[in-house]
Amino acid sequence: MAVTRLRRLVTPTVAVVVAGALVTGIVLDIRAQAALHHDQGQVVATRSQVQNTAALIGSSTSSAGRAGADAKRTASRLTDVSAQLTAAKALAAQAHSSVASREIEIGVVHSCAGGINRSVSALQGGDQSQAVADLSAVAADCQSLLSSQAGGPVYPFDFADPDVIVAKGSYYAYGTNSTAGNIQIMKSTDLVHWKKSGNALPTLASWARPGYTWAPAVIHLKRSYLLYYTAAVASTRTQCLSVATARRPEGPFVDNSSAPLECQVALGGSIDPSPYTDASGNPYLAWKSNGAHGQPATLWAQALNAKGTALVGAGPTALLRPSQSWEGSVVEAPSMIFTAGSYALFYSANNWDSAAYGIGAARCTGPLGPCVKPLAGPLLGSQSGFDGPGGESVFTDTSGHLEMAFHAWLPGAVGYPHSRLLFVRQLEITNGTARLG
């Protein structure tokens, strides 16, 4: 399990990060959008511009009746594009068949592709800050190529394992390493428009291996912001948990630890940390052990000290193990909340790089359980607009409503090196039953 899990990370120095974002982050929403254009010269020019970074740029048409013929001609012309485009071609073909909702200006396509090309060049030249700036500059154009419908992705580039908090009236989202560095960070005022801020954790702990950081989660305690994250021990590559601190939600977070916060070596390592508080405001941490030596993947929880910098008590308590067929022997990415007088635990299950991945829900009688699963299947699974949702986090928005942030693949573009995009849905919990809007 630990070896498979390593493929969740995206090493920031490899240009395929942005290539993956192109293939899946700027392709059309297959439910309604299409990008066909009657000017074949523009189509060829656009394809030439983005082909080296593994983009699939279609053309647009004003007639739904011409979509099928154009799609066939486009598919024929694109047979020489690399294998990375296979899934993107499938997306385009589906979009062509349901065209006519609107047209996308070819200039927007050029702008998006050009910005990503510049970002790739900056990464190859070792200028990570410029790479982030280049992506941020074209994020709006790239986002416009995605669905504008409610419930669609809210950011056009890779942002896996999202965790969202509210601080000083704004939303801060933290995600697995990508172009920005060890821990991505973005800011929004409305949960719809996001601006990338860069790297929340510029320097790792001395024991951690660079490029192997993911699944961050942040909490505010005692005037400090604490960022919990997964890292690999440099000497053994075992996956473990660590914590960094900062005075501001945007960081920079600092980790001066000499050893991991938690690392269940006998259980295959520890990943996916998620802090939460009980009814009295006392902090806890939930996480996953990968499973090893005949032990299943398991979700654990343990109390934290008042500062959130150390685990306290007799040891971790098991919250949840896989027990339903849809989970595929995997549970991970816990997110616990106390609301309306009860504890709700959300988790991801099944293979992270498949359409079978989904989000489950459980009820718990206390911050350390026990927990039961009221549903026979996932709370959220693959739908027409996305595949394999997971990596969820639950938070309360500025209006007092519960929200769930999660990542998902675009349909037909599942698995590495494609990107997992950021989604945000409103969450309702009534009489212990959860429902997503």
Residue 302 pLDDT more than 80? yes
For residue 389, is pLDDT > 60? yes
| Percent of all residues in the chain with a pLDDT value above 70, rounded to a whole number | 75
**Tens digit of pLDDT for each residue in 91-139?**
344 444 333 334 556 777 778 888 888 888 887 888 888 888 888 888 8
**With 0-12 CB in 10 A as exposed, 13-18 as middle and 19+ as buried, what is 98?**
middle
Is residue 26 predicted with pLDDT exceeding 80? no
Q: Which domains does the chain have, with CATH numbers?
A: 34-144 (no CATH), 163-436 (2.115.10.20)
pLDDT of the residue at 301? 98
Q: Which distant-in-sequence residues (6+ apart) come within 8 Å of 416 by Cβ?
A: 7, 20, 353
Higher pLDDT, residue 143 or 277:
277
Ranges of beta strands (E only) in 252-375 are 270-277, 283-289, 298-303, 317-320, 331-339, 342-349, 358-364, 371-372
Mean pLDDT over 151-155 rounds to: 87
333 pLDDT higher than 50: yes
How is residue 271 annotated by DSSP?
E
Question: What pLDDT does 149 receive?
Answer: 59
Instruction: State pLDDT tens for residues 317-330.
Output: 999 999 999 999 99
For 267, half-sphere exposure in the C-beta direction (CA atoms, 13 angstrom radius) is 18
| Percent of the chain whose pLDDT exceeds 90 | 57
Q: How far apart are CA 99 and CA 71, in angstroms?
A: 10
Average pLDDT in the 1-10 region?
A: 39
For 199-246, what is each residue's pLDDT tens digit?
999 999 999 999 899 999 999 998 999 999 999 999 999 999 999 999
The mean pLDDT value for 239-264 works out to 97
State the pLDDT confidence band at 150, using cuts at 50, 70 and 90: low
Whether residue 417 is predicted with pLDDT greater than 70 in this model: the reply is yes
